[in-house]
């Protein structure tokens, strides 16, 4: 297998930021990560309002969420690598600027194509998360890094839940305007931009080198086709020519991407890093935890809004009540659990935290599957599931950072971010498909099809199984090799001190055998 090291010298490790500045940096980057996670779920509760206001079809309005997902898949790996090569803060500022522009477009859009354009620009901002983790690696002292990464990661689950709650608040009542939610997004995006501009220092760690545009193109097309099939399969039909053709195209493009990366001199993704067992396991965990997060949000949201008089279950909740009473508690727990996860990562290791995530997730979803007829059960189970997502998100960056050299941290975290997005897309597709396939018979005339209770039960059992697999990944996939970085050649011309600094950095977070 042929791989190549970057052509530019690895820079000397930058001295950590002053202790007083570390907290400010972490808070600014946490805000940026929270805002980008809000963009992903913000339109979910208001798709019906958008459809009615713009006169769009159901399949057409689904692109409001799909466009963001596909844009993230294409740009996140490329921008993560670009930040490693040419500077993380300038890349962060540029990406946040794009997010602000996209948010303004969505708030002003008077047609579906223009709204989709704005959502596409918002999707590119997903690259903020891997860039933020790379900045933390450069700026923070080693003992502070696990907790900081866990806090930034925890804001992802919190931001996703907060967006649902805020959208519910802003669009409640008669005559609600969905654009209020996008104006809120614009305000948060501007705030995040200002925080990064004024509070995050410019790092000096740049690897330089040429950008692997061919690798970026083939990887982008691979992800584009895969996520297109997953996200639109329900609308197109899982056995339709478009869905099967997209899956087949993704398989072909995967092969072309691997061949490209094995042959180019400076690959976008070092294949040895990509298939290194801890990195591979972290990405699989990302798919499973992302799946669980969306299964929780969508499953609970749909469940509590079911009209009990017609279905025999549900809580007749409005969008506002579903968001505030049933989803907000789990989002708050996700945020509160993130620093705890960081401490556990530091003292017990990521494998232990994956085990905690699996236990909490299996208990939460199992509880939902067995009892979703009482308010206390739905909220209580959501608390367990929310903590599980936060612990899973806390462990993944620690595995990535301890398993790759510094000059690959941006692209490695970018791939992990895409694995989470892929899991979220799969979760959305699975929940939608199950609920659409299991419907109640003999409803009154004129009443649209409603999902049977068994569909929700099956969804929650699948969520429990997903977190059980996280335990397998943490217990077996990371055993014995967690703290070892892949055998990556030092950068050409790198000084011994720089190489040693990179090797030390790559093994900061170790785990007891």
CB 422 within 8 A of CB 226: yes
Confidence band for 207, pLDDT divided at 50, 70 and 90: low
Residue 3 lies in a domain: no
Confidence band for 501, pLDDT divided at 50, 70 and 90: very low
> Are both 136 and 192 inside the same structural domain?
yes
* Dist CA 199 CA 276 (whole Å): 35
> Are both 337 and 222 inside the same structural domain?
no
* Dist CA 71 CA 120 (whole Å): 5
Mean predicted lDDT score pLDDT of the chain: 83
> Are both 50 and 29 inside the same structural domain?
yes
Q: Pick from 230, 298, 226, 247: which is nearest to 462 by CA?
A: 298
Task: Look at the block and give the residue holding tokens 């396939």.
Answer: 437
> Are both 326 and 253 inside the same structural domain?
no
> Are both 275 and 391 inside the same structural domain?
yes
Model pLDDT, residue 106: 95
Domain count, the chain: 2
To 10 degrees, the CA torsion angle through 427, 432, 433, 439? 140
32-36, 46-50, 203-207 — which is least confidently predicted?
203-207
Task: Return phi, psi of residue 439, to 5°.
Answer: -120, 160
Instruction: Report, as an integer, the average pLDDT of 161-177.
Output: 82
Residue 34 lies in a domain: yes
> Are both 245 and 360 inside the same structural domain?
no
Burial (Cβ within 10 Å: 0-12, 13-18, ≥19) of residue 414: buried
Residue 1 lies in a domain: no
Q: For the whole model, what pTM was predicted? A: 0.81
Question: Which of 267, 292, 313 delimits the end of a domain?
Answer: 267
Range of the domain at 228: 212-267
What is each CA distance from 284 to 353, 393, 461, in whole angstroms?
A: 15, 12, 19
Those residues with Cβ within 8 angstroms of residue 268's Cβ, 6 or more apart along the chain or in another chain: 77, 78, 81, 211, 212, 215, 216, 219, 261, 411
Instruction: Report, as an integer, the average pLDDT of 157-168.
Output: 85
Model pLDDT, residue 347: 87
- Token pair belonging to 438: 């299991």
> Are both 340 and 482 inside the same structural domain?
yes
* Dist CA 73 CA 291 (whole Å): 16
> Are both 95 and 235 inside the same structural domain?
no
> Are both 373 and 258 inside the same structural domain?
no
Q: Pick from 225, 213, 215, 287: which is nearest to 258 by CA?
A: 215
Model pLDDT, residue 268: 74
- Token pair belonging to 288: 């499973």
Model pLDDT, residue 164: 83
Question: Which of 228, 246, 267 delimits the end of a domain?
Answer: 267
CB 181 within 8 A of CB 171: yes
Model pLDDT, residue 315: 95
> Are both 39 and 102 inside the same structural domain?
yes
Q: Is the pLDDT of residue 129 over 50?
A: yes
Give the pLDDT confidence of 84-97 residue by residue, as tens digits: 777 889 999 999 99
Residue 250 lies in a domain: yes
Residue 10 lies in a domain: no
122-126, 442-446, 470-474, 488-492 — which is least confidently predicted?
488-492
Residue 253 vs residue 495, higher pLDDT:
253
Instruction: Report, as an integer, the average pLDDT of 266-288.
Output: 86
> Are both 346 and 434 inside the same structural domain?
yes
> Are both 291 and 227 inside the same structural domain?
no
Q: Is the pLDDT of residue 481 over 50?
A: no
Residue 510 lies in a domain: no
401: domain CATH number?
1.20.1250.20
Percentage of the chain lying above the pLDDT 70 cut: 88
Question: Which of 267, 290, 310 delimits the end of a domain?
Answer: 267
Residue 492 vs residue 460, higher pLDDT:
460
DSSP letters, 364-410, are HHHHHHH--SSHHHHHHHHHHHHHHHHHHHHHHHHHHHTTS-GGGHH
Residue 207 lies in a domain: no
Q: Is the pLDDT of residue 348 over 80?
A: yes
Residue 2 lies in a domain: no
CB 444 within 8 A of CB 416: no
């Amino acid at each position: 297998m042929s791989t190549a090291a970057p052509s530019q010298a690895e820079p000397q490790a930058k001295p950590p930021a002053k202790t007083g500045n570390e907290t400010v940096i972490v808070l600014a980057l946490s805000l940026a990560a929270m805002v980008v996670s809000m963009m992903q779920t913000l339109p979910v509760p208001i798709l019906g309002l958008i459809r009615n206001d713009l006169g769009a079809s159901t399949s057409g309005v689904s692109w409001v969420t799909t466009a963001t997902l596909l844009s993230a898949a294409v740009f996140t790996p490329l921008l993560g690598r670009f930040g490693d090569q040419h500077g993380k803060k300038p890349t962060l500022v540029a990406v946040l600027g794009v997010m602000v522009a996209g948010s303004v477009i969505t708030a002003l859009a008077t047609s579906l194509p223009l709204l989709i354009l704005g959502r596409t620009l918002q999707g590119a901002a997903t690259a903020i998360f891997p860039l933020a983790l790379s900045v933390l690696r450069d700026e923070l002292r080693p003992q502070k890094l696990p907790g900081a990464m866990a806090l930034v990661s925890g804001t992802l689950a919190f931001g996703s839940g907060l967006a649902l709650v805020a959208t519910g608040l802003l669009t409640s009542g008669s005559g609600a305007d969905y654009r209020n939610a996008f104006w809120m997004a614009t305000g948060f995006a501007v705030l995040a931009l200002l925080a990064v501009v004024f509070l995050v220092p410019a790092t000096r760690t740049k690897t330089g080198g040429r950008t692997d545009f061919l690798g970026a193109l083939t990887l982008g097309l691979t992800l584009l086709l895969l996520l297109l099939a997953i996200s639109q399969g329900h609308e197109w039909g899982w056995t339709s020519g478009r869905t099967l053709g997209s899956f087949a195209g993704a398989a072909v493009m995967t092969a072309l991407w691997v061949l490209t990366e094995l042959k180019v001199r400076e690959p976008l993704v070092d294949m040895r890093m990509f298939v290194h067992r801890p990195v591979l396991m972290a990405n699989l965990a990302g798919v499973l935890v992302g799946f669980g997060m969306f299964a929780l949000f969508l499953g609970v949201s749909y469940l509590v809004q079911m009209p009990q008089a017609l279905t025999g279950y549900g809580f007749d909740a409005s969008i506002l009540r579903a968001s505030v009473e049933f989803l907000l508690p789990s989002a708050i727990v996700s945020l509160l659990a993130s620093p705890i996860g960081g401490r556990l990562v530091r003292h017990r290791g990521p494998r232990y935290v994956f085990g905690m995530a699996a236990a909490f997730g299996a208990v939460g979803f199992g509880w939902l599957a067995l009892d979703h007829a009482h308010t206390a059960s739905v909220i209580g189970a959501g608390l367990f599931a929310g903590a599980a997502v936060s612990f899973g998100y806390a462990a993944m960056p620690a595995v990535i950072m301890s398993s790759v050299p510094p000059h690959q941290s941006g692209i490695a975290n970018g791939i992990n971010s895409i694995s989470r997005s892929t899991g979220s897309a799969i979760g959305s597709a699975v929940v939608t498909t199950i609920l659409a396939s299991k419907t109640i018979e003999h409803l009154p005339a004129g009443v649209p099809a409603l999902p049977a209770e068994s569909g929700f039960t099956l969804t929650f059992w699948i969520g429990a199984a997903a977190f059980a697999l996280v335990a397998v990944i943490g217990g077996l996939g990371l055993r014995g090799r967690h703290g070892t970085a892949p055998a990556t050649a030092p950068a050409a011309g790198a000084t011994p001190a720089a190489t040693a600094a990179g090797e030390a950095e790559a093994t900061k977070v170790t785990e007891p055998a």
